[in-house]
Amino acid sequence: MTTFSLREAAEQTGTSKSTIFRAIRAGRLSANKDADGNFAIDPAELFRVYPPKSEEVAEERAAKRPEGQGAIAFDTTELRVRNAELEGQITALRLLLETAQKREDDLKAERDRWAAQAERLALAGPAGKAARPWWPWGRGSHV
**Where do the structural domains in the chain lie, given as residue ranges?**
6-64, 74-123
Question: pLDDT tens digits, residue range 8-58?
Answer: 899 888 899 999 999 999 999 989 988 888 999 988 888 888 888 765 455
Mean of pLDDT values over 93-115: 94
Going from the C-alpha of 92 to that of each of 7, 81, 86, 108, 126, the distances in angstroms are 45, 17, 10, 24, 51
Contact yes or no for 55/22 (Cβ under 8 A):
no
Beta bridge pairs of residue 32: 40
Is the pLDDT confidence value at 134 over 80?
Answer: no
pTM above 0.75, yes or no: no
**How much of the chain exceeds pLDDT 90, in percent?**
27
Classify strands 39-40 and 32-33 as parallel, antiparallel or unpaired. antiparallel
Q: Is the pLDDT of residue 101 over 90?
A: yes
